[in-house]
Amino acid sequence: MQNLTSIVPNNTTAGGGCPPVGIQLEGRILPPVLAIDVLLGLLGNFVALWIFCLRLKSWNPINQFLFNLVIADFLVLISLPLRIDALLRGHWVFGDGMCRINLFLMFSNRSASIALMTVVALYRYFRVVHPQHRFNRMTKRQARYVSVFVWLLVIAPRIPMLAYSHIKHIGTTTQCFFFTSYKEASQAIRVLLNVHRILTVFEFIIPLVVLLFCSVRVFRVLRKWQTGNPKKFRKEMWVCAAIVGVFVLCFLPTTITSIGLWVIASFRPSDCASFYTFTQLTIVSLGLNFLNSALDPIIYFFTSSMFRKVFCSVLPAALRCGEAAVEEGETAASSSGIKSTTHLELRSMMDNRGRDALEQAQML
């Protein structure tokens, strides 16, 4: 995450001796944007947490992965109010320990969200495209092991951040930044910064390739075996679109600005105009980066049929999304044993792979 740490305080020197950028624009733009992210995120994720903990009866692997995504969102949502307060005050008042934890949580949320979204996409890919693969026989315990492994993979590279103070005393004020300038940063901080930038770029590019590959393969299989049921086909396509759409919208801007600042600092340290441009773009991208916590409930809704069914069942009748009525109609139709001759003929023509792919897609 290219976050608040890239905005330099007023009396420090930016890349290669450029005059200071300042944090005035950051203080005006980010507080309302981050406040909206927090309010929408807490609302959506509290509903999701209530459904997962109190209403959901079946904890299959995909629901476990989505529950971990809820936890990742809460970690950043509880840390953002401190950052909003610091922006409104113009300085940090919560001490060195909270500064380290705050930055750690903000950095880790991006990595955890990306990793868990990728796991969800891979799980759907195997269920639909390779329904006979042993990956689909994953037990609840194995899903928990996968979740723990993902968290360890995400947290391990960020732990060194907790070992260093990121408090900067600027005149009579105190700021909480990962670094303040290219010249002023210590060698250890520069190493952490380079590691951070490498992770920011590659943890976006590699999962994006995986997400696109999985989405295309799922699309082709479901289009081939939709057997005259375009509604279910469109529903499955919405799942793929929701995951890829949230991923690109929230994480692409911060990746581009990270690459831009990295290139400028490394190869064009005296190009102050470019440095300022990417700094301002970084400010704008921050709001989108944390917007993923508010948009993730959309992924829960489209990805988990059980989550969707519970959510629809608790809505007032006037707002009911129709999921329960549709499923009840399908259940009644299937239990009646009445099938048209055309449908039976089409089913008999499907091979095992196509039939399993459809069944697996509908179970998710």
Backbone angles phi, psi at 62, to 5 degrees: -65, -35
pLDDT value of position 42: 92
Name residues whose C-beta falls within 8 Å of residue 160's C-beta, 6 or more positions apart in sequence: 192, 195
**Options 1.10.10.10, 1.10.3720.10, 1.20.1070.10, 1.20.210.10; which CATH number does 4-363 get?**
1.20.1070.10
pLDDT value of position 27: 72
Q: Per residue in 240-281, pLDDT tens?
A: 888 888 899 999 998 888 888 778 877 887 787 787 777 777
Query: Are the CB atoms for 109 and 293 separated by under 8 Å?
Result: yes
pLDDT value of position 319: 63
Distances (CA, A) of 158 to 1, 199, 257: 11, 10, 20
CA 364 to chain centre: 20
E strands of the chain, at which residues? 167-170, 173-176
Residue extents of the structural domains in the chain: 4-363
pLDDT value of position 351: 46
Q: How far apart are CA 364 and CA 359, in angstroms?
A: 9
Length of the chain, in residues: 364
Q: How far apart are CA 206 and CA 314, in angstroms?
A: 38
pLDDT value of position 133: 87
CA 329 to chain centre: 34
Q: How far apart are CA 327 and CA 309, in angstroms?
A: 9
Taking 50 as the pLDDT cut, the residues of the chain under it are 1-16, 182, 323-353, 355, 358-359
Using DSSP bridges, classify how beta strands 173-176 and 167-170 pair: parallel, antiparallel or unpaired. antiparallel
Distances (CA, A) of 356 to 129, 130, 134, 206, 330: 9, 9, 14, 29, 18
Buried b (16+ CB within 10 A) or exposed e, 79-115: bbebbbebbeeebbeeeeeebbbbbbbbbbbbbbbbb
**Identity (one letter) of the amino acid at 295?**
L
